[in-house]
Amino acid sequence: MSDYRIRVLDEDEKRAAQDLFLGSLHAAPVTDEMWEYSSAGYPAERCFGAFREGRIVGSAQSFAATMAVPGGAVLPLAAVSRVGVRADHTRRGVMTELMRAQLRELGEPLASLHATEPVIYGRFGYGVACRGRTVEVEATRGRAVPPLPGDGEIRLLETDELAVELPKIYERIGLHRPGMMSRPRGWWRMVVERRLAQKDHLVAAVHSGPDGDDGFALYEATTVNISPDQRERRLDVHDMHGASLGVVLDLWRFLLGADLVRWVRAWGRPLDEHVELIVPNRGDCRTIELTDETWLRLVDVPTALAARTYGPARPVVVEVHDRFLPENSGRYRVGPDGVRRTDASADLELPVDSLAMLYLGDISASALAATGRLTVREASALTRADRLFTTDRPPNSGTFF
Protein backbone atom coordinates (compact mmCIF):
# COMPACT_ATOMS: atom_id res chain seq x y z
CA MET A 1 0.00 0.00 0.00
CA SER A 2 3.02 2.34 0.09
CA ASP A 3 2.32 3.34 -3.52
CA TYR A 4 -1.27 4.39 -2.74
CA ARG A 5 -2.63 7.47 -1.03
CA ILE A 6 -6.05 7.48 0.67
CA ARG A 7 -7.76 10.86 0.99
CA VAL A 8 -11.08 12.68 0.86
CA LEU A 9 -12.15 13.63 -2.66
CA ASP A 10 -12.43 17.13 -4.04
CA GLU A 11 -15.81 18.05 -5.52
CA ASP A 12 -14.49 17.87 -9.09
CA GLU A 13 -13.26 14.30 -8.51
CA LYS A 14 -16.64 12.84 -7.59
CA ARG A 15 -17.67 11.95 -11.13
CA ALA A 16 -14.46 10.05 -11.81
CA ALA A 17 -15.09 8.14 -8.58
CA GLN A 18 -18.63 7.30 -9.66
CA ASP A 19 -17.47 6.08 -13.06
CA LEU A 20 -14.81 3.97 -11.34
CA PHE A 21 -17.45 2.41 -9.10
CA LEU A 22 -19.74 1.66 -12.05
CA GLY A 23 -16.78 0.18 -13.91
CA SER A 24 -16.10 -2.16 -10.99
CA LEU A 25 -19.66 -3.46 -11.53
CA HIS A 26 -19.01 -3.80 -15.28
CA ALA A 27 -21.47 -0.97 -15.95
CA ALA A 28 -21.25 2.04 -18.26
CA PRO A 29 -20.22 5.48 -16.95
CA VAL A 30 -22.95 7.77 -15.67
CA THR A 31 -24.56 9.98 -18.33
CA ASP A 32 -24.56 13.77 -18.17
CA GLU A 33 -28.32 13.75 -17.65
CA MET A 34 -28.21 11.32 -14.73
CA TRP A 35 -25.13 12.81 -13.04
CA GLU A 36 -27.24 15.64 -11.66
CA TYR A 37 -29.25 13.09 -9.66
CA SER A 38 -26.50 10.57 -9.00
CA SER A 39 -24.21 13.16 -7.41
CA ALA A 40 -26.86 14.61 -5.09
CA GLY A 41 -26.66 12.19 -2.19
CA TYR A 42 -22.94 11.84 -1.52
CA PRO A 43 -21.12 14.98 -0.32
CA ALA A 44 -17.48 15.17 -1.39
CA GLU A 45 -16.31 15.33 2.22
CA ARG A 46 -17.77 11.83 2.75
CA CYS A 47 -16.16 10.35 -0.37
CA PHE A 48 -12.79 8.64 0.00
CA GLY A 49 -10.50 7.82 -2.88
CA ALA A 50 -7.38 5.72 -3.32
CA PHE A 51 -4.85 7.33 -5.65
CA ARG A 52 -1.76 6.04 -7.37
CA GLU A 53 0.44 8.34 -9.42
CA GLY A 54 -2.30 10.96 -9.29
CA ARG A 55 -5.04 8.70 -10.69
CA ILE A 56 -8.02 7.44 -8.70
CA VAL A 57 -8.06 3.66 -8.50
CA GLY A 58 -10.52 3.04 -5.65
CA SER A 59 -13.48 4.70 -3.96
CA ALA A 60 -15.71 4.34 -0.89
CA GLN A 61 -18.55 6.79 -0.29
CA SER A 62 -21.36 7.38 2.20
CA PHE A 63 -24.08 9.78 3.25
CA ALA A 64 -25.07 10.76 6.77
CA ALA A 65 -28.30 9.32 8.14
CA THR A 66 -29.73 7.97 11.39
CA MET A 67 -30.97 4.50 12.38
CA ALA A 68 -33.50 3.37 14.99
CA VAL A 69 -32.21 0.78 17.47
CA PRO A 70 -34.16 -1.42 19.91
CA GLY A 71 -35.84 0.69 22.55
CA GLY A 72 -36.50 3.65 20.25
CA ALA A 73 -33.19 5.52 20.35
CA VAL A 74 -31.92 6.88 17.04
CA LEU A 75 -28.17 6.82 16.34
CA PRO A 76 -26.05 8.58 13.69
CA LEU A 77 -25.36 6.25 10.77
CA ALA A 78 -22.94 6.20 7.86
CA ALA A 79 -24.85 4.79 4.86
CA VAL A 80 -22.00 3.26 2.86
CA SER A 81 -22.12 2.65 -0.87
CA ARG A 82 -20.18 3.06 -4.12
CA VAL A 83 -17.29 0.94 -2.87
CA GLY A 84 -15.10 -0.26 -5.71
CA VAL A 85 -11.51 -0.77 -6.89
CA ARG A 86 -10.27 -0.74 -10.47
CA ALA A 87 -9.74 -4.25 -11.79
CA ASP A 88 -6.01 -3.67 -12.32
CA HIS A 89 -5.53 -2.65 -8.66
CA THR A 90 -7.53 -5.30 -6.79
CA ARG A 91 -6.12 -7.65 -4.12
CA ARG A 92 -3.49 -5.15 -3.00
CA GLY A 93 -5.21 -3.96 0.17
CA VAL A 94 -6.77 -0.88 -1.44
CA MET A 95 -10.34 -1.64 -0.34
CA THR A 96 -9.21 -2.52 3.17
CA GLU A 97 -7.53 0.86 3.64
CA LEU A 98 -10.46 2.71 2.10
CA MET A 99 -12.88 1.04 4.49
CA ARG A 100 -10.63 1.64 7.49
CA ALA A 101 -10.23 5.34 6.67
CA GLN A 102 -13.97 5.71 6.14
CA LEU A 103 -14.93 4.08 9.44
CA ARG A 104 -12.29 5.92 11.49
CA GLU A 105 -12.75 9.41 10.11
CA LEU A 106 -16.51 9.87 9.73
CA GLY A 107 -17.36 9.46 13.40
CA GLU A 108 -20.80 7.80 13.33
CA PRO A 109 -21.22 4.91 15.81
CA LEU A 110 -23.01 2.79 13.16
CA ALA A 111 -22.42 2.10 9.48
CA SER A 112 -24.56 0.06 7.10
CA LEU A 113 -24.42 -1.10 3.51
CA HIS A 114 -26.01 -3.42 0.96
CA ALA A 115 -23.45 -5.97 -0.15
CA THR A 116 -22.97 -6.81 -3.81
CA GLU A 117 -20.44 -9.49 -2.79
CA PRO A 118 -21.42 -10.69 0.73
CA VAL A 119 -18.17 -12.61 1.26
CA ILE A 120 -16.20 -9.33 1.32
CA TYR A 121 -17.62 -7.36 4.22
CA GLY A 122 -17.40 -9.69 7.20
CA ARG A 123 -13.66 -9.06 7.40
CA PHE A 124 -14.40 -5.35 7.89
CA GLY A 125 -16.71 -6.11 10.82
CA TYR A 126 -20.08 -5.97 9.02
CA GLY A 127 -22.73 -8.56 9.77
CA VAL A 128 -26.25 -9.19 8.44
CA ALA A 129 -28.49 -7.36 10.92
CA CYS A 130 -31.80 -7.34 9.00
CA ARG A 131 -33.34 -9.82 6.59
CA GLY A 132 -36.20 -9.25 4.21
CA ARG A 133 -38.64 -11.38 2.20
CA THR A 134 -39.21 -11.07 -1.50
CA VAL A 135 -42.92 -11.86 -1.73
CA GLU A 136 -45.08 -12.52 -4.78
CA VAL A 137 -48.86 -12.76 -4.38
CA GLU A 138 -51.55 -13.74 -6.85
CA ALA A 139 -53.74 -10.68 -7.32
CA THR A 140 -57.19 -11.07 -5.82
CA ARG A 141 -58.93 -9.28 -8.71
CA GLY A 142 -61.79 -8.32 -6.49
CA ARG A 143 -62.07 -11.61 -4.60
CA ALA A 144 -63.14 -11.25 -0.98
CA VAL A 145 -60.45 -11.03 1.68
CA PRO A 146 -60.98 -10.92 5.44
CA PRO A 147 -62.06 -7.44 6.51
CA LEU A 148 -59.26 -5.42 8.08
CA PRO A 149 -59.70 -3.15 11.10
CA GLY A 150 -59.41 0.59 10.59
CA ASP A 151 -61.13 3.22 8.52
CA GLY A 152 -58.36 4.44 6.23
CA GLU A 153 -58.72 5.62 2.65
CA ILE A 154 -56.30 5.30 -0.26
CA ARG A 155 -55.65 7.82 -3.03
CA LEU A 156 -53.21 7.96 -5.93
CA LEU A 157 -50.75 10.83 -6.23
CA GLU A 158 -50.16 12.73 -9.42
CA THR A 159 -46.69 12.12 -10.87
CA ASP A 160 -45.50 15.64 -10.06
CA GLU A 161 -46.52 15.13 -6.42
CA LEU A 162 -44.31 12.09 -5.74
CA ALA A 163 -41.04 13.87 -4.98
CA VAL A 164 -42.83 16.38 -2.73
CA GLU A 165 -45.35 14.27 -0.82
CA LEU A 166 -43.52 10.97 -0.23
CA PRO A 167 -40.67 12.49 1.84
CA LYS A 168 -43.25 14.25 4.03
CA ILE A 169 -45.16 11.02 4.65
CA TYR A 170 -42.00 9.05 5.39
CA GLU A 171 -40.93 11.70 7.89
CA ARG A 172 -44.36 11.64 9.49
CA ILE A 173 -44.37 7.86 9.83
CA GLY A 174 -41.09 8.03 11.74
CA LEU A 175 -38.45 5.41 12.53
CA HIS A 176 -40.73 3.10 14.50
CA ARG A 177 -38.97 -0.22 13.81
CA PRO A 178 -35.38 -1.22 14.69
CA GLY A 179 -33.24 -0.87 11.59
CA MET A 180 -35.32 1.85 9.94
CA MET A 181 -33.20 4.76 8.76
CA SER A 182 -33.73 8.38 7.89
CA ARG A 183 -33.70 9.53 4.29
CA PRO A 184 -31.92 12.82 3.58
CA ARG A 185 -32.99 15.00 0.69
CA GLY A 186 -30.24 13.60 -1.50
CA TRP A 187 -31.64 10.07 -1.16
CA TRP A 188 -34.96 11.12 -2.64
CA ARG A 189 -33.12 12.87 -5.47
CA MET A 190 -31.07 9.77 -6.26
CA VAL A 191 -33.89 7.25 -6.01
CA VAL A 192 -37.24 8.83 -6.86
CA GLU A 193 -36.42 11.98 -8.86
CA ARG A 194 -33.80 10.15 -10.92
CA ARG A 195 -36.29 7.47 -11.93
CA LEU A 196 -38.89 10.05 -12.80
CA ALA A 197 -36.31 11.84 -14.97
CA GLN A 198 -35.73 8.51 -16.74
CA LYS A 199 -39.47 8.48 -17.50
CA ASP A 200 -40.07 5.40 -15.38
CA HIS A 201 -43.81 5.10 -14.79
CA LEU A 202 -43.88 5.14 -10.99
CA VAL A 203 -47.23 5.22 -9.19
CA ALA A 204 -47.75 6.09 -5.54
CA ALA A 205 -50.76 5.01 -3.47
CA VAL A 206 -51.13 6.95 -0.22
CA HIS A 207 -53.02 5.68 2.82
CA SER A 208 -54.80 8.24 5.01
CA GLY A 209 -56.12 7.49 8.49
CA PRO A 210 -58.04 9.60 11.01
CA ASP A 211 -54.95 11.71 11.68
CA GLY A 212 -53.83 12.18 8.08
CA ASP A 213 -51.47 10.45 5.68
CA ASP A 214 -49.84 7.48 7.40
CA GLY A 215 -48.50 5.20 4.67
CA PHE A 216 -47.61 4.80 1.01
CA ALA A 217 -46.68 2.25 -1.64
CA LEU A 218 -44.50 3.20 -4.62
CA TYR A 219 -44.81 0.78 -7.50
CA GLU A 220 -44.82 0.28 -11.25
CA ALA A 221 -46.41 -2.18 -13.64
CA THR A 222 -44.26 -4.55 -15.64
CA THR A 223 -45.04 -7.08 -18.36
CA VAL A 224 -44.17 -10.74 -17.79
CA ASN A 225 -43.91 -13.01 -20.84
CA ILE A 226 -45.56 -16.32 -19.95
CA SER A 227 -45.24 -17.76 -23.46
CA PRO A 228 -44.88 -16.36 -26.98
CA ASP A 229 -48.64 -15.87 -27.04
CA GLN A 230 -49.32 -14.90 -23.43
CA ARG A 231 -48.34 -11.87 -21.40
CA GLU A 232 -49.40 -10.89 -17.90
CA ARG A 233 -49.06 -7.74 -15.84
CA ARG A 234 -47.29 -7.61 -12.50
CA LEU A 235 -47.07 -4.76 -10.01
CA ASP A 236 -43.54 -4.36 -8.64
CA VAL A 237 -43.52 -2.61 -5.28
CA HIS A 238 -40.29 -0.66 -4.78
CA ASP A 239 -41.07 1.11 -1.53
CA MET A 240 -43.84 0.65 1.04
CA HIS A 241 -44.12 1.97 4.57
CA GLY A 242 -46.89 2.55 7.07
CA ALA A 243 -47.28 3.82 10.59
CA SER A 244 -48.65 0.40 11.59
CA LEU A 245 -48.94 -3.13 10.23
CA GLY A 246 -52.64 -2.48 9.62
CA VAL A 247 -51.81 0.43 7.31
CA VAL A 248 -49.34 -1.67 5.31
CA LEU A 249 -51.81 -4.55 4.96
CA ASP A 250 -54.44 -2.07 3.77
CA LEU A 251 -52.01 -0.98 1.05
CA TRP A 252 -51.41 -4.63 0.16
CA ARG A 253 -55.15 -5.19 -0.16
CA PHE A 254 -55.44 -2.19 -2.49
CA LEU A 255 -52.61 -3.45 -4.72
CA LEU A 256 -54.00 -6.99 -4.84
CA GLY A 257 -57.37 -5.69 -5.99
CA ALA A 258 -55.96 -3.87 -9.04
CA ASP A 259 -57.61 -4.68 -12.35
CA LEU A 260 -55.69 -6.40 -15.15
CA VAL A 261 -52.92 -7.54 -12.81
CA ARG A 262 -51.82 -11.16 -12.30
CA TRP A 263 -49.28 -10.75 -9.49
CA VAL A 264 -47.93 -8.25 -6.98
CA ARG A 265 -44.26 -8.59 -6.05
CA ALA A 266 -42.42 -6.72 -3.28
CA TRP A 267 -38.77 -6.87 -2.23
CA GLY A 268 -37.16 -6.79 1.21
CA ARG A 269 -40.38 -6.92 3.22
CA PRO A 270 -40.28 -7.29 7.03
CA LEU A 271 -40.49 -10.83 8.31
CA ASP A 272 -43.61 -10.07 10.39
CA GLU A 273 -45.59 -8.63 7.46
CA HIS A 274 -47.95 -11.58 7.07
CA VAL A 275 -49.67 -10.75 3.81
CA GLU A 276 -50.57 -14.45 3.45
CA LEU A 277 -53.20 -13.90 6.16
CA ILE A 278 -55.24 -11.48 4.06
CA VAL A 279 -55.59 -13.55 0.88
CA PRO A 280 -58.26 -16.25 0.40
CA ASN A 281 -55.68 -18.95 -0.35
CA ARG A 282 -52.34 -18.97 1.48
CA GLY A 283 -50.87 -20.77 -1.52
CA ASP A 284 -51.36 -17.58 -3.53
CA CYS A 285 -48.55 -15.98 -1.49
CA ARG A 286 -45.02 -17.19 -2.17
CA THR A 287 -41.75 -16.23 -0.53
CA ILE A 288 -39.39 -16.13 -3.50
CA GLU A 289 -36.26 -15.47 -1.48
CA LEU A 290 -35.00 -14.40 1.91
CA THR A 291 -32.48 -11.61 1.43
CA ASP A 292 -29.69 -10.03 3.46
CA GLU A 293 -31.53 -6.74 3.71
CA THR A 294 -29.00 -4.72 5.76
CA TRP A 295 -25.36 -5.24 6.68
CA LEU A 296 -24.46 -3.38 9.88
CA ARG A 297 -21.14 -2.33 11.39
CA LEU A 298 -20.82 -1.27 15.04
CA VAL A 299 -18.10 1.35 14.57
CA ASP A 300 -18.21 2.49 18.19
CA VAL A 301 -19.17 -0.64 20.14
CA PRO A 302 -19.60 0.91 23.63
CA THR A 303 -21.75 3.76 22.30
CA ALA A 304 -23.88 1.41 20.17
CA LEU A 305 -24.41 -1.12 22.97
CA ALA A 306 -25.31 1.60 25.49
CA ALA A 307 -27.87 3.18 23.15
CA ARG A 308 -30.28 0.25 22.88
CA THR A 309 -32.45 -1.28 25.61
CA TYR A 310 -32.37 -4.89 26.81
CA GLY A 311 -34.92 -7.44 27.94
CA PRO A 312 -35.52 -8.68 31.50
CA ALA A 313 -32.63 -11.00 32.36
CA ARG A 314 -29.56 -11.04 34.56
CA PRO A 315 -26.55 -9.31 32.94
CA VAL A 316 -24.01 -11.16 30.84
CA VAL A 317 -20.38 -10.30 30.20
CA VAL A 318 -19.66 -10.30 26.47
CA GLU A 319 -16.12 -10.31 25.12
CA VAL A 320 -15.91 -8.64 21.71
CA HIS A 321 -13.05 -9.15 19.26
CA ASP A 322 -12.52 -6.46 16.61
CA ARG A 323 -9.32 -6.88 14.62
CA PHE A 324 -10.22 -4.13 12.16
CA LEU A 325 -10.89 -1.45 14.84
CA PRO A 326 -9.10 -2.91 17.86
CA GLU A 327 -10.16 -0.10 20.21
CA ASN A 328 -13.58 -1.81 20.32
CA SER A 329 -12.16 -5.07 21.63
CA GLY A 330 -12.84 -5.84 25.26
CA ARG A 331 -15.41 -7.13 27.73
CA TYR A 332 -18.78 -5.50 28.23
CA ARG A 333 -21.30 -6.10 30.99
CA VAL A 334 -24.71 -5.99 29.26
CA GLY A 335 -27.93 -5.84 31.26
CA PRO A 336 -31.29 -4.08 31.61
CA ASP A 337 -29.57 -1.41 33.72
CA GLY A 338 -27.12 -0.52 30.95
CA VAL A 339 -23.73 -1.38 29.48
CA ARG A 340 -20.21 -0.78 30.76
CA ARG A 341 -16.72 -2.10 30.18
CA THR A 342 -15.53 -4.63 32.74
CA ASP A 343 -12.58 -6.80 33.70
CA ALA A 344 -14.87 -9.64 34.81
CA SER A 345 -14.59 -13.06 33.18
CA ALA A 346 -16.47 -13.39 29.90
CA ASP A 347 -19.69 -15.40 29.73
CA LEU A 348 -19.86 -15.17 25.93
CA GLU A 349 -17.25 -14.37 23.30
CA LEU A 350 -17.82 -13.27 19.72
CA PRO A 351 -16.33 -11.26 16.84
CA VAL A 352 -17.74 -7.85 16.05
CA ASP A 353 -19.50 -9.02 12.87
CA SER A 354 -21.49 -11.54 14.93
CA LEU A 355 -22.32 -8.78 17.42
CA ALA A 356 -23.81 -6.82 14.50
CA MET A 357 -26.06 -9.79 13.71
CA LEU A 358 -27.23 -9.87 17.33
CA TYR A 359 -27.54 -6.12 17.86
CA LEU A 360 -30.93 -5.33 16.27
CA GLY A 361 -32.52 -8.60 17.38
CA ASP A 362 -32.69 -10.41 14.04
CA ILE A 363 -30.53 -13.38 15.08
CA SER A 364 -30.45 -14.86 18.58
CA ALA A 365 -27.35 -15.58 20.62
CA SER A 366 -28.36 -19.27 20.62
CA ALA A 367 -28.42 -19.34 16.82
CA LEU A 368 -24.99 -17.71 16.67
CA ALA A 369 -23.64 -20.26 19.15
CA ALA A 370 -25.14 -23.19 17.25
CA THR A 371 -23.44 -22.04 14.05
CA GLY A 372 -20.04 -21.42 15.63
CA ARG A 373 -20.23 -17.63 15.50
CA LEU A 374 -20.34 -17.20 19.28
CA THR A 375 -18.39 -19.05 21.98
CA VAL A 376 -20.15 -19.90 25.25
CA ARG A 377 -17.96 -19.67 28.36
CA GLU A 378 -20.79 -19.94 30.91
CA ALA A 379 -23.70 -22.17 29.88
CA SER A 380 -26.56 -20.29 31.56
CA ALA A 381 -25.50 -17.02 29.92
CA LEU A 382 -26.78 -18.10 26.51
CA THR A 383 -30.44 -18.11 27.57
CA ARG A 384 -29.95 -14.80 29.36
CA ALA A 385 -28.41 -13.27 26.24
CA ASP A 386 -31.38 -14.44 24.17
CA ARG A 387 -33.71 -12.62 26.54
CA LEU A 388 -31.56 -9.51 26.73
CA PHE A 389 -31.20 -8.99 22.98
CA THR A 390 -34.70 -10.05 21.89
CA THR A 391 -37.00 -7.43 20.36
CA ASP A 392 -40.76 -7.11 19.96
CA ARG A 393 -40.49 -6.86 16.16
CA PRO A 394 -37.93 -8.15 13.69
CA PRO A 395 -35.73 -5.35 12.37
CA ASN A 396 -36.00 -4.03 8.84
CA SER A 397 -34.48 -1.02 7.13
CA GLY A 398 -36.73 -0.71 4.11
CA THR A 399 -34.33 1.76 2.48
CA PHE A 400 -32.04 0.77 -0.37
CA PHE A 401 -29.07 2.89 -1.37
* pLDDT tens-digit series, residues 101-147: 999 999 999 999 999 888 899 999 999 999 999 999 999 776 767 77
Pairing of strands 348-351, 316-321: parallel
The whole-number pLDDT of residue 317 equals: 99
- Annotation says 121 is catalytic: yes
92 is in an annotated binding site: yes
Q: In this predicted model, which residue has the larger pLDDT, 327 or 106?
A: 327
pTM (2 d.p.): 0.95
Element containing residue 14 per DSSP (H, E): helix 14-24
Residue 225 lies in a domain: yes
Percent of the chain with pLDDT over 90: 91
What pLDDT is stored for residue 144 in this prediction? Answer: 62
- Report the number of distinct structural domains present in the chain: 3
- How many separate helices (H) and strands (E) can be counted in the chain? 12, 17
User: Which H/E stretch holds residue 206?
Assistant: strand 203-209
In three-state secondary structure terms, 148 is coil
pLDDT of 151 > 90? The answer is: no
**Residue 83 assigned ligand-binding role:** yes
Name the active-site residue from 4, 121, 126, 324: 121
Q: Is residue 74 part of a domain?
A: yes
Based on the fold, state whether residues 278 and 332 are members of the same structural domain. Answer: no
Asked if residue 291 belongs to a known ligand binding site, the reply is no
Note whether residue 158 is domain-resident. yes
Mean pLDDT within 38-53: 94
Domain for residue 107, yes or no? yes
> Rounded CA gap, 285 and 278, in Å?
10
Segment 48-100, tens digit of pLDDT: 999 999 999 999 999 999 999 999 999 999 999 999 999 999 999 999 999 99
Please tell me which residue in 124, 219, 359, 401 is annotated as part of the active site. Answer: 401
Half-sphere exposure (Cβ direction) of 110: Cα atoms closer than 13 Å: 32
Catalytic status, residue 170: no
CATH of the domain at 340: 3.30.1050.10
Q: Would you give the distance in Å from CA 275 to the centre of its chain?
A: 21
Q: Say whether both 62 and 120 belong to one domain.
A: yes
Question: Mean pLDDT, the chain, as a whole number?
Answer: 95
Are 63 and 99 contained in the same domain?
Answer: yes
Structure confidence at residue 229 as a pLDDT band (50, 70, 90): confident
For residue 141, the model assigns a pLDDT of 73
Asked, for residue 51, whether it belongs to a domain, the answer is yes
Q: Which domain, by its residues, includes 169?
A: 132-292
Q: Is the pLDDT of residue 331 over 70?
A: yes
Predicted confidence at residue 146, as pLDDT, reads 74
Mode of pairing for the β-strands spanning 74-85 and 110-113: parallel
Query: Is residue 95 annotated as involved in ligand binding?
Result: yes
**Annotation-wise, does 80 bind a ligand?**
no
Report the alpha-carbon distance of residue 23 to residue 327 in Å, rounded.
35
pLDDT digits (tens, 9 = 90+) for 167-218: 999 999 999 999 999 999 999 999 999 999 998 899 999 999 999 999 999 9
Q: Considering the domain boundaries, does residue 307 fall inside one? A: yes
Q: What is the CATH number of the domain that holds 153?
A: 3.40.630.30
- What average pLDDT score do residues 333-351 get? 99
Q: Is 91 annotated as a binding residue?
A: yes
**Shared domain check, 164 and 62:** no
DSSP 3-state assignment of 163? helix
Same domain? For 150 and 271 the reply is yes
